[in-house]
Homo-oligomer: A and B are copies of this chain.
Amino acid sequence: MERCAIGIDLGGTVLKGGIVSESGRLLEYRSTPSRVFEGPDRVLGNLTTMADLLTAKASECGYPVAGIAVATPGVIDPVFGGIVGGAENLPGWEGVPFMKMMHERFGFPVMAHNDVTTHVLGETRFGAGVGKKDVIMASFGTGVGGGIIVGGNLYTGSIGYAGEIGHFTTHAGGQLCACGIRGCWEEYASIRGILRIARRRVDEARRAPRPPGLPASSLLEAWPAQVEKDTPAGPDPAMIFEAARDGDGLALEIVDEIGREAAVGIGGLINIFNPELFIIGGGIASASEIYLEAVRRHVPDWTLKLSMGSVRIVPASLGYEAGVIGASVLAFDRINVYGAG
């Protein structure tokens, strides 16, 4: 019987888990709130319950288990067996040797890696990047993360922290990022960036005299004028994309600017890496074809001709279970195995 892996995707909001076959089929899938703000003990408990369920199911079905693999925010140290930094969204999780604990409890090899990195690994093995050797993936969501495949292999850098593409500066001296750098790409191309752009455009539109005969944008109503400038409350990106699809002029302008900001960084990465494939993933990208269209329209403005001519830009294809499926690749390839060093 084909081997399987237990893949777990520890997100800030949802904990997802599944049994994945060596050919990439998702044999079993579960999800539950991850409750990361209740602290590391709760997270560890949830993780263990998920692994309990899935290993029991695998054993019941007779699948030989290659290992348990966890996609998590942050930088993994597989010798220590946990995260050693870079996981601001998981309070208290840094320094918890969860790989060690899970290995002791379940007896299987335990692997872990950064979530976006894991995602690109899944896309390259089972999704949009099958058979490609030089691949970059950007994931647009709460932040902007990245994964780098070089010569068919995952590139992780000297301490496993490579791929922080959201923190290269595209607007030097611009918006202050949570990381402390001024003008990170992430501040312009994440959900936070999108909502800031939309808020500015909506405010501008509210102040400007409306051309006679043109209907008012639906965003003006959806977005209350009184909200504090600094809290980007109001429509979420999906609402903007929907209005744009309905032909709302203001929404179309916003989507164009959003696409441009994403394209600035995508172009830069294509110039640096000359990849054959650039995969666009994450919550924003999966939400809307109109977003992808805007991004694609602007990328050539920020990309050298030779590299533009040799790259395809495609959406991620694994969808919501990408982290789970990607994690299985860690297990099958024995990447970042706890205690192997």
Which residues of A come within 8 Å of B, CB atoms? 75, 85-86, 133-134, 146, 148, 150-151, 153, 155-165, 167-172, 179, 181-182, 188, 261, 264-265, 267-269, 271-276, 301-307, 310-311
Please, which residues of chain B bring their CB within 8 A of the CB of A165? 271-272
B171–A157 CB distance below 8 A: no
Q: How far is the CA of A159 from the CA of B308 in the complex (A)?
A: 11
Q: How far is the CA of A165 from the CA of B162 in the complex (A)?
A: 16
Please, which residues of chain B bring their CB within 8 A of the CB of A172? 170-171, 188, 261, 264
- Can you list 30 A-B contacts (CB < 8 A)? A75-B306, A86-B306, A133-B158, A134-B158, A155-B273, A156-B274, A158-B275, A158-B276, A159-B306, A160-B274, A161-B310, A163-B272, A163-B274, A164-B271, A164-B274, A164-B304, A167-B268, A167-B271, A168-B269, A169-B170, A169-B265, A169-B267, A169-B268, A170-B170, A172-B264, A179-B304, A181-B267, A181-B301, A181-B302, A181-B304
**From residue A77, how far is it (CB to closest CB) to chain B in Å?**
11
B157–A274 CB distance below 8 A: yes
Residue of B nearest to A153 (CB): B151
Q: How far is the CA of A275 from the CA of B160 in the complex (A)?
A: 10
**From residue A161, how far is it (CB to closest CB) to chain B in Å?**
4
Please, which residues of chain B bring their CB within 8 A of the CB of A162? 134, 272-274
B168–A271 CB distance below 8 A: yes
Please, which residues of chain B bring their CB within 8 A of the CB of A307? 157, 159, 161, 164
Q: How far is the CA of A179 from the CA of B163 in the complex (A)?
A: 26
A264–B134 CB distance below 8 A: no
A168–B171 CB distance below 8 A: no
Q: Given A168-B168, A169-B264, A170-B170, A274 and B159 touching (CB < 8 A)?
A: yes
Q: How far is the CA of A148 from the CA of B171 in the complex (A)?
A: 24
Q: How far is the CA of A173 from the CA of B134 in the complex (A)?
A: 28
| Most interface-central of A150, A162, A169, A304 (chain B CB within 10 A) | A169
Please, which residues of chain B bring their CB within 8 A of the CB of A301? 181-182
Please, which residues of chain B bring their CB within 8 A of the CB of A169? 170, 264-265, 267-268, 302
Residue of B nearest to A165 (CB): B272
**From residue A125, how far is it (CB to closest CB) to chain B in Å?**
19
**Extra 14 A-B pairs, beta carbons < 8 Å, given A159-B274, A169-B302, A172-B261:** A85-B305, A134-B158, A146-B272, A158-B274, A158-B275, A160-B274, A161-B307, A162-B272, A164-B272, A168-B268, A169-B265, A171-B172, A172-B188, A181-B267
Please, which residues of chain B bring their CB within 8 A of the CB of A159? 274, 306-307, 310
